[in-house]
Amino acid sequence: MSLFYILIFPGFAFLVAFGLFADFFDRKIVARLQNRQGPPWYQPLADMIKLLGKEDIVTDHADRGIVSMIPLFGLASVAAAFLYVPLWSVEWPFSFTGDLILIVYLLTIPAFVLVLLGWYSPNPFGSLGTGRVITQLFGYEVPFTLALLTPAIVAESWQVTELLRFQLIDTWFIGITPIAFFVAIIALVGKLERIPFDIPHAETEIVEGPMTEYTGRKLALLKMMFQTEMVVGSALIAVIFLGGPYFPGITAALAGTAAGTVVGFLIVLVKTLLMIFTLSLIKALFARLRIEQMVNWCLIWLTIPILLQILVVVVAASL
């Protein structure tokens, strides 16, 4: 049963399928907001199949073994993080004390994947993109981590299921720590390197940054890594700040039943899509920032507010 959880549902196969649907949902929302038609529902899958069938080219100066393994390692880290996000109940088979720290760590690995890819790329766009990835990492990672740890301070636990259990008794964390929720959403945009924080790729400036030299299967795995990371990050925020599978009135009525499990799972999916819709809205409304603007903005408008939020939480807990 554990093998089924890991490989099929809610593991790798489900995550990839949901990632493809999330990519379609994101592109469709952005297109409609920009008064365009947008792609058909099968377009992300068709793009993935096309990339997998393309020639896999490795430049002469790159280490073929390392370059081929790095994208797979990034995708595996995102898939592993997804296993620790409870999707339908506080009774989650993979939950353990401190799993929130592990999730944050696993979601940091994709950034280092891009750093290594750019490091092994002889293309100047790859080197420039690598520098931007590292610079941007210092801008969003600290506020993102602090935003996720703020509810943990309130609930006095580093376990995601305990944060979920806390919201069964009290209100959702979006009501208790609204600044942390806002910071988590904005920092997730930076982590996913989406507009306005898509500086490491910046197609109009440096083509694809660290991914410029990569084609075929490697590029497909990298695209899939970003698609699944968007799902995992959105689901994590939905679970931590929006009550996950629980909704007032529905939870109590269906508690302990099979129908309650199914409905809880559907509620998580809807909340995750709501987070992806928010990311799409941000993408459609804003233009790309320069790298120094991004770092300064994160340090001033994300880090300082989340530190104030933590201070308020600590003071309120001591009273």
Predicted pLDDT at 290: 84
The pLDDT, as a whole number, for residue 207 is: 76
Confidence band of 54 (pLDDT split at 50, 70, 90): confident
Share of residues in the chain with pLDDT > 90 (%): 43
Q: Report helix, strand or coil for 83.
A: coil
Please say if the pLDDT value at position 255 is more than 70: no
pLDDT computed for residue 122 by the predictor: 76
Q: Judge whether residue 288 has pLDDT over 90.
A: no
pTM (2 decimals)? 0.91
94 vs 37, 73, 87, 115, 161, CA distance in Å? Answer: 41, 20, 11, 30, 10
- pLDDT, position 224: 92
At 252 the pLDDT is 60
DSSP 3-state of 158 = coil
Give the CA count within 13 Å in the CB-facing half-sphere of 76.
5
The pLDDT of residue 55 is: 80
pLDDT in tens, 142-187: 999 999 999 999 988 899 999 998 888 768 999 999 999 999 999 9
Contact between 132 and 291 (Cβ < 8 Å): yes
- Measured CA to CA, the distance from residue 220 to residue 177 in angstroms comes to 37
User: How many residues are listed for the chain in this entry?
Assistant: 319
DSSP 288: P
Give the H/E segment covering residue 26.
helix 12-33
pLDDT at position 1 over 70: no
Q: How confident is the model at residue 102 (pLDDT cuts 50, 70, 90)?
A: very high
* Cα-Cα end-to-end distance for the chain: 46
Question: What is the structure's pLDDT at 254?
Answer: 67
pLDDT for 317 equals 80
Question: Residue 256's pLDDT is what?
Answer: 66
pLDDT single digits (tens) 181-220: 999 999 999 899 888 888 888 877 877 878 777 888 888 8
Query: Which pLDDT value is given to residue 198?
Result: 86
pLDDT at residue 173, as a whole number: 92
Q: How confident is the model at residue 268 (pLDDT cuts 50, 70, 90)?
A: very high
